[in-house]
Homo-oligomer: A and B are copies of this chain.
């Protein structure tokens, strides 16, 4: 497990908020010079604390107008059945996130589609008829009020 000090946490907070900040700028913000700062970042990448970097895109501008959350219950909760469902979700590009939950609902999915029509098409031809699916309850996103990456790290 990684031993993270206060500086590491601040590096991570900065990079989570601004992933393409230059190393010099990053070093200044946390009070280091460039070389040790870069060494720390590389180490955090190696250890897997930093799993990657991603551009955040405007879905609507790219023609993806629909975000839906789907609450899925399966007929069988045997580990094999769960794995099979997860495999299936991995193959569907509209499914951006799939989380296994406790309680009555087995999975929650975040689904992104171009429009209502393509979402309905996806729902009825891909998701609902998937093996072992008992019920699917979907809710359309009216608006996204808040969307922050990752973890709090506020008092980092």
**A100: contacting residue among B107, B141, B151, CB under 8 A:** B141
- Measured between beta carbons, the chain B residues less than 8 angstroms from A144 are 97-100
Instruction: Please determine whether A112 and B151 come into contact, CB atoms closer than 8 angstroms.
Output: yes
Chain A residues close to B by CB (< 8 Å): 1-2, 4, 9, 12, 15-20, 47-59, 61-62, 64, 67, 69, 86, 89-90, 93-103, 105, 107-108, 112, 139-154
Number of copies: 2
> What are 19 A-B interface contacts by the 8 Å CB criterion?
A19-B55, A50-B58, A51-B58, A53-B54, A53-B55, A55-B149, A59-B151, A86-B146, A89-B145, A94-B152, A96-B149, A99-B142, A99-B143, A99-B144, A100-B143, A101-B139, A101-B142, A102-B139, A108-B139
